[in-house]
Amino acid sequence: MTSPEPRAESKEPNPGSDAAIEQGCTCPVLDNGHGTGWIGGGFVLSTLCPLHGETAESYLDSIGDDE
Ligand SMILES: [Zn+2]
């Protein structure tokens, strides 16, 4: 079962990068170093972002907020 469909762009571009913004990314641009990442590593995601919102929400879910 192989799909002949080309899927070169199946992975979304880095948050804050020009490519991501072109696709509607609303994540912080400066905080993400224009797609190179947060100073301490990783990325700052927006739950409102159409590209990375799901990732941000699943991340928040994994943290939980029970104290
Ligand atoms: Zn984004």
pLDDT at residue 1 above 80? no
The pLDDT value recorded for residue 9 is: 46
Q: How far is the CA of 32 from the centre of ligand 1 (A)?
A: 10
Q: How far is the CA of 38 from the centre of ligand 1 (A)?
A: 13
Q: How far is the CA of 2 from the centre of ligand 1 (A)?
A: 30
Residue 33 contacts residue 43 (beta carbons within 8 Å): no
The pLDDT value recorded for residue 25 is: 97
Residue 38 contacts residue 31 (beta carbons within 8 Å): yes
The pLDDT value recorded for residue 59 is: 87
Q: How far is the CA of 60 from the centre of ligand 1 (A)?
A: 15
In order, the DSSP letters of the chain are ----S--TT-SPPPTTSHHHHHTT--S-TTTTGGGT--TTSS----TT-TTTHHHHHHHHHHH----
Q: How far is the CA of 6 from the centre of ligand 1 (A)?
A: 23
Query: The whole model's pTM is what?
Result: 0.73
